[in-house]
């Protein structure tokens, strides 16, 4: 089992302003479960 509690993620905008993407996220994934997190199309991803 995987438990995530009170997860937060902030980014800086191109103008240098803080942007909160996630706040107070709680997630439990039980054995045998499969999850995916999908965002809007066109979101920039960092290169691998």
DSSP symbols for 18-44: EEEEEEEEEEEE-TT--------TT--
d(CA 22, CA 27): 12
The pTM score is: 0.58
pLDDT at 48 over 60: no
* 44 or 27, greater pLDDT: 27
* 17 or 44, greater pLDDT: 17
- 19, 28, 40 from 12: Cα distances, Å: 6, 28, 18
Task: List pLDDT tens digits, range 2-23.
Answer: 999 999 999 998 899 999 988 9
Half-sphere exposure of 14 toward its Cβ, with a 13 Å CA cutoff? Answer: 1
The structural domains of the chain, with segments of one domain joined by +, span 1-36
* 31 or 38, greater pLDDT: 31
47 pLDDT band, cuts 50/70/90, is low
């Amino acid at each position: 089992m995987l438990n995530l509690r009170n997860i937060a993620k902030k980014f800086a905008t191109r103008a240098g302003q803080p942007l909160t993407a996630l706040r107070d996220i709680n997630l439990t994934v039980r054995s045998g479960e499969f999850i995916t997190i999908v965002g809007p199309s066109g979101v920039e991803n960092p290169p691998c």
